[in-house]
């Protein structure tokens, strides 16, 4: 058994016998402690020291940003996280007033969602950074996801796809919200955790099946809309009360089309 399969054995086993998402609420944090993501070393006796270093590094970077007046006590916390990441990666702009890059907007969206999941600011910053780094590994795969979305939606409901094409909506769907931001700002945090768990454990294709399931869940509403603009606006602001069911069905779709994907990118 490979190291990757050992890491995911319990999740795969439970899913094989019909239990979806067992302990998924905690699995994101568990996986993020894996040395592969560079947060903590594999030896537990080193954790306290490493966390101390992380806190010191966090404090030093934050202090530097305050000294150069890039942030203040009044700066929103998610923006503080962004400026810290920019400084550490050598991408800090010359002025805080400079317009944000698209990748910065993605960082802020993810940071805002992660802030609702993680209480400690130091832990939150490091988890955000490592999650964004994980997404960057999918950079070559992300442009392929809209095509995959169209393929799987056609398999599940060709009539619905035909309606989207008739409205010229296929190319205007909120792909950035779905795939670049991983549904941050679209799904509530309780549902996001289950999706991000799959992303962290090695698959960005789960994002495709969440998008497909959103369309299937709101098929009647989408079919009643007759313009790309109206369809996109609705999909950007879907009702939140169905999100848990959407994610559960999306995971089922994922298994249906991909078998039991542990690290299916």
> Into which CATH architecture does domain 22-138 fall?
Orthogonal Bundle (1.10)
Please give the angle made by the CA atoms of 218, 240 and 199, to the nearest 5 degrees. Answer: 90
Quote the pLDDT of residue 203: 83
- In whole angstroms, how far apart are CA 152 and each of 74, 196, 243? 46, 20, 20
The answer to whether the beta carbons of residues 104 and 82 sit under 8 Å apart is yes
For residue 134, the 8-state DSSP code is: H
Quote the pLDDT of residue 14: 47
Return all residues near 31 (Cβ < 8 A) that are at least 6 apart. Answer: 7, 37, 197, 200, 201
Q: Where are the domains of the chain?
A: 22-138, 140-264
Per-residue tens of pLDDT for the chain, all 265 residues: 444 444 444 454 445 444 455 445 455 555 555 544 555 566 666 778 878 889 999 999 999 999 999 999 999 999 999 999 999 999 999 999 999 999 999 999 999 999 999 999 999 999 999 999 999 989 899 999 999 999 999 999 999 999 999 999 999 999 999 999 999 999 999 899 999 999 998 889 999 999 999 999 999 999 999 999 999 999 999 999 999 999 999 999 999 998 765 544 5
Please give the angle made by the CA atoms of 199, 201 and 248, to the nearest 5 degrees. Answer: 60
The CATH number of 140-264, from 1.20.1250.20, 3.40.710.10, 3.30.465.10, 1.10.472.80, is 1.10.472.80
Quote the pLDDT of residue 51: 82
Quote the pLDDT of residue 49: 80
The tokens for 55 are: 């806190």
């Amino acid at each position: 058994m490979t190291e990757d399969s050992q890491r995911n054995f319990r999740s795969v086993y439970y899913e094989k016998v019909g239990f979806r998402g067992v302990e998924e609420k905690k699995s994101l944090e568990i996986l993020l402690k894996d040395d592969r993501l560079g947060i903590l070393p594999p030896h537990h006796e080193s954790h306290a020291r490493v966390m101390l270093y992380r806190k010191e590094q966090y404090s030093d970077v934050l202090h530097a940003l305050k000294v150069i007046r890039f942030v203040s006590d009044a700066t929103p916390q998610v923006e503080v996280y962004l400026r810290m990441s920019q400084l550490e990666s050598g991408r800090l702009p010359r002025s805080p007033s400079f317009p944000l890059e698209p990748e910065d907007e993605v960082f802020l969206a993810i940071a805002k969602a992660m802030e609702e999941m993680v209480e400690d600011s130091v832990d939150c910053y490091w988890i955000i950074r490592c999650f964004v780094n994980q997404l960057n590994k999918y950079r070559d795969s992300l442009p392929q996801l809209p095509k995959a979305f169209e393929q799987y939606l056609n398999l599940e409901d060709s009539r619905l796809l035909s309606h989207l094409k008739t409205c010229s909506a296929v190319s205007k769907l909120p792909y950035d919200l779905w795939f670049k931001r991983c549904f941050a700002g679209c799904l509530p945090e309780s549902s996001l955790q289950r999706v991000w768990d799959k992303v962290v454990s090695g698959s960005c294709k789960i994002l495709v099946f969440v998008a497909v399931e959103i369309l299937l869940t709101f098929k009647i509403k989408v079919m009643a809309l007759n313009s790309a603009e109206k369809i996109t606006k609705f999909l950007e602001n879907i009702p939140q009360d169905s999100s848990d069911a959407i994610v559960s069905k999306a995971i089922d779709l994922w298994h249906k089309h991909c078998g039991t994907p542990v690290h299916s990118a």
